A and B are shown apart, each in its own frame.
Chain A
Amino acid sequence: MKKTVGLIVNPVAGMGGSVGLKGTDGEMYEKALALGAEPVTPKRTSDLLAHIEHKGALTWLVAPGKMGERYVAERDVPFSVIEEVGEETSPQDTKRIAEKMVERGVELLIFVGGDGTARDIYDAVDSEVPVVGVPAGVKVFSSAFALSARAAAEMVDAFVEGAEVTEEEVLDIDEEAFREDRLASRLYGYLLVPEVRTSLQPGKAASNVSKSSTESKQEIAAYIVEQMDPETLYLLGPGTTLRAVTDELDLPKTLLGVDAVRAGELVGEDVNESDILSLFERYEKRKIVVTPIGGNGFIFGRGSKQFTPTVIRQVGRENVIVVGTRRKLNDLDCLRVDTGDLALDEALSGHMRVTVGYREEMMVTVRC
C-alpha cells in the first residue's frame, strides 16, 4: 500500500536573501522582486525529490503549479493536484491547501519554505500529521526544519520505513528586529517530524549510548523531579522538555505557556505575570525551570511574556534551572537572554549549568 504524501512549496521563500533582505514577509516580497531576486525553491525542491530513495512507496498529492505540481510532473511518479491558486501566491494559499491535504488523508506533508511557511503549516495542521520541512527561506531558525534538502529526503525515507515522530519547534521571528540584526523570537508551536537517528561518521564505531530525544527528555525529567523540594514553587516554562517533567508528575502541561507546580500539585495553569506575582505572595521559595529555544538558544527572550524582568528578579539567577537535551545544546553556540532589561541581561550572563540528562549537566556560556 503506497503512502500518500503532500507537497507544498512556498515559491517566494528565500528570495530576500540574495538581495540582502531578511525575509519576504509583507511588502518585502515586492522589494525583493524589484531588486531582481531569483527564486531559490526550485533547486531545493528538485534536490529533495532527487534524493528520496523510497520513491516507489509514495503517491503524491501536490499544490498546483509552482507550489508543487511543476516539480513532481517532471518525474515519473503518481500524483494528483489539489486546489487552485492565482499567479501570486499567499500564506492563505499555503494554509488552505494544507488543510485540504489533511482532509484528503495525506500521511506526511512536505513543505518547502522558511519560518513563515512553517507557521502557516502549523496553523493549518497543528499535530494532525507529521511533516518534513525543507529549508529554503532567509530565516530558518525553527528546529522543525531538516538541515538541508537531502536531509529532508532522508526524513521522508525514515518515515516510509516507520520511524517514530518527535515534536520540533516552530519559531516566530520578528522580521523587523531581524533586519536590525537583532534576533527576537518566540516559540510559536510544535510540528511532528519523523525522527532520524544521527548518521554515523564513517569508520567510527556505533554508539551504544545514543538516545532518542524523547528518551533524553524523560531522563532529564526524572532527574528534575527527583530534585524537587516540596516547599518550593516551580514555574515550568514552555516546551516539550518541560512537558516531560509534568508527565513524570502525572500533571497536564500548557505546551506554549507557563505552569506552576508545588509539592507535586498543579497550583497555576497557563499563568501570566500577575498570576505569578500573586503566587509569590503565598510561596517564598521559588524556582524557574526553562529550556532554550532550539537553534538560537534563548532562555529568556522578549517573547516570553510570563517571565518578565520583575518575575526573574524575584526568583533570582541562582534559582533558574535550565534543562535541554544534549542534541539541542550541541546545536547552539551559547545560551542567550534578551529580557528587554539590560542590567538583568548582564546579571544573567556568564555561565549556567544546564541539566542535559539524568545526573548529567553541561556548563554553558550565557550571552546577551
Chain B
Amino acid sequence: MLSETIDLHMNEMPYPPPEHVLEAAREALTKLNRYADPEEMGRLRELLAQYAGVPPRYLVLSPGSDLLLREIIHTFSQGRKVVTVSPSFFPTVQAVKQFAPRRLSMRLSPPTFDLERDLMMDALDEPSLLIVDNPNNPTGRMLLDRRMVEAIAERRDVFFVIDEAYYEFSGTTFADMVADCPRLAIIRTMDKAFSLAGARIGYAIAGEVFLDAISDFYPFLPRPSLYAAMAALRNSGYMRENVRQIVEERERLQQALCEGDEGDLLGTRVYPSNTNFLLVRTKVPDVARRLREAGVLVSDMSRQLPPGFIRVSVGTPEENDAFLAAYKSLLIQ
C-alpha cells in the first residue's frame, strides 16, 4: 500500500497550475462578493476565440463542458434521434439516456474501435443529433476525419456535435469549419491540458443553429475560474510543455505495458491513444479494485466495455512507475 493514493482515473493533468494562474485566481477571491463582470466574460471569450482561431461570436462559455453537452442534448433531442458512439464520455451517455426520447448508439468494437463511415451514414437515416467524441473517451482513438465531417455537415437534417475535450493532446480540430457549417458545434474544456479541472471552464465553438439556442445558458462563471482561465490563456507555454511531457510519458507507459516475449505483458493489451490516457485490456480479474487497494485509482470500464478493460490516465513519471509496479505485482500473484 502506498502512503498516498495515486489518482489516475479522471484524466486530469497531474501538474498544478503555474504561479501566474494561481495569482490571478487569488486576486479574484477578493471580489467574491460580486458576480463576474460581463466585460470579463467577453474578454475570456476573446482569448478563447484567439486560441481556437475563430471569431469571438462563435464562442459560448459554460461551467464545465459536460453541462454544455447536457444542455445541447436536452434542447436538441426533441423530434430528433440522438446518435452517439458506444463507449463514449459517460456524462454524455447518461444525459442521452435521461433526455433523448429516441436513441441509437454505434458500437465501437475491439480490437480497432474504428467508426466506419458507412455505418455512421446508415445510422443517420432520419433527423438526428449526432454526438461524437474525437478522440474518443475511453478508447483514445480518433474517430473522425475531415471528409466524414464534411459529408455530415452537408446533411441539413443532422445537428453535429464533436467533443474535443482532448484536443490539445490530439492536435486535431474541426473548429475552423464552424463558420461555414451552421449545424456543427465543437465542445472543448480547459479542465485537462490547462491544469484547471477544479476551475470547470468549458466552451463551445458553435455554428449559428446552436448559437441561437445555447448562447444565453450561462451568463456568469465563478470569478476565480474566469481569472485563472484568462491568465492560463495569456501565457499558454506552460500548458504546451506539460502536454508534450504527458504525450512522452504516455508512449513510455504504453511501451512498458507492451514488454514481454509476445509484445505484451502477460496478455495485457494497450490501445494506441491520442489523449492523456490509455485504454488497457487485462486478464487480471477485478483489476481496478485491486489497484485501488494498492493505492492506485484507475477507471473500471465495465459499464461500457467487456470485462477486463480499464482506463489509465497518464500521470507524472513517478505516478506512472507506481502504477506499473502495482500492476506488475498483480500479474505475478
Using Cβ atoms and an 8 Å threshold, which residues of chain B touch A262? Answer: none
Taking A203-B9, A203-B10 as contacts, is the C-beta distance between A357 and B286 under 8 angstroms?
Answer: no
Taking A201-B9, A330-B304, A359-B102 as contacts, is the C-beta distance between A150 and B109 under 8 angstroms?
Answer: no
Chain B CB within 8 A of A331 CB: yes
Q: How far is the CA of A203 from the CA of B300 in the complex (A)?
A: 12
Judged by DSSP, the binding face of B is mixed
Contact B292 A202 (CB under 8 A): yes
Besides the contacts A331-B306, A332-B306, A362-B105, what 7 more A-B pairs have beta carbons closer than 8 Å? Answer: A147-B307, A198-B302, A208-B98, A330-B86, A330-B304, A363-B106, A365-B109
B98, B102, B107, B299: the one contacting A362 at CB < 8 Å is: B107
Taking A201-B9, A202-B9 as contacts, is the C-beta distance between A150 and B119 under 8 angstroms?
Answer: no
Chain A CB within 8 A of B303 CB: yes
Chain A CB within 8 A of B184 CB: no
Contact B103 A351 (CB under 8 A): no
Using Cβ atoms and an 8 Å threshold, which residues of chain B touch A330? Answer: 86, 302-306
Return 24 A-B CB contacts under 8 Å, by A number.
Answer: A149-B285, A150-B285, A201-B9, A201-B288, A202-B297, A203-B9, A203-B297, A207-B94, A330-B302, A330-B304, A331-B307, A332-B306, A333-B110, A334-B109, A356-B105, A360-B103, A360-B104, A361-B105, A362-B86, A362-B104, A362-B105, A363-B122, A363-B123, A364-B107
Q: Which residue of chain A has its CB nearest to the CB of B105?
A: A362
Q: Which residue of chain B has its CB nearest to the CB of A208?
A: B98
Chain B CB within 8 A of A282 CB: no
Q: Which residue of chain B has its CB nearest to the CB of A207?
A: B94
Q: How far is the CA of A317 from the CA of B102 in the complex (A)?
A: 24
Contact B119 A351 (CB under 8 A): yes
Interface residues of B (CB under 8 A from A): 9-10, 86, 90, 94, 97-98, 101-107, 109-110, 119, 122-123, 285-286, 288-289, 292, 297, 299-300, 302-307
A203, A331, A363: the one contacting B104 at CB < 8 Å is: A363
Contact A147 B286 (CB under 8 A): yes
Using Cβ atoms and an 8 Å threshold, which residues of chain B touch A82? Answer: none
Chain B CB within 8 A of A204 CB: yes
Q: How far is the CA of A365 from the CA of B302 in the complex (A)?
A: 19
Question: How many contacts A-B (CB < 8 Å)?
Answer: 75
Chain B CB within 8 A of A272 CB: no
Using Cβ atoms and an 8 Å threshold, which residues of chain A touch B306? Answer: 330-333
Taking A150-B286, A198-B303 as contacts, is the C-beta distance between A209 and B297 under 8 angstroms?
Answer: no
Interface residues of A (CB under 8 A from B): 147-151, 198, 201-204, 207-209, 329-334, 351, 353, 356-357, 359-365
Contact A209 B285 (CB under 8 A): no
Q: How far is the CA of A62 from the CA of B61 in the complex (A)?
A: 63
Using Cβ atoms and an 8 Å threshold, which residues of chain B touch A359? Answer: 101-103
Question: Shortest beta-carbon distance, A64 to chain B, in Å?
Answer: 28
Q: Which residue of chain A has its CB nearest to the CB of B287?
A: A148
B98, B110, B123: the one contacting A209 at CB < 8 Å is: B98
Contact B109 A151 (CB under 8 A): no
Taking A201-B9, A203-B10, A208-B98 as contacts, is the C-beta distance between A150 and B289 under 8 angstroms?
Answer: yes
Most chain B CB inside 10 Å of its own CB: which residue of A208, A332, A334, A360: A360
Question: Shortest beta-carbon distance, A208 to chain B, in Å?
Answer: 7
Q: How far is the CA of A333 from the CA of B97 in the complex (A)?
A: 22
Contact A329 B102 (CB under 8 A): no
Contact B105 A333 (CB under 8 A): no
Q: Which residue of chain A has its CB nearest to the CB of B97?
A: A209
Using Cβ atoms and an 8 Å threshold, which residues of chain B touch A329? Answer: 107
Q: How far is the CA of A86 from the CA of B306 in the complex (A)?
A: 40
Q: How far is the CA of A331 from the CA of B97 in the complex (A)?
A: 19
Using Cβ atoms and an 8 Å threshold, which residues of chain B touch A334? Answer: 107, 109
Using Cβ atoms and an 8 Å threshold, which residues of chain A touch B10? Answer: 203
Taking A202-B292, A351-B119 as contacts, is the C-beta distance between A148 and B286 under 8 angstroms?
Answer: yes
Q: How far is the CA of A202 from the CA of B307 in the complex (A)?
A: 18
Question: Shortest beta-carbon distance, B329 to chain A, in Å?
Answer: 16
Using Cβ atoms and an 8 Å threshold, which residues of chain A touch B9? Answer: 201-203
Using Cβ atoms and an 8 Å threshold, which residues of chain A touch B307? Answer: 147, 331
Contact B107 A365 (CB under 8 A): yes
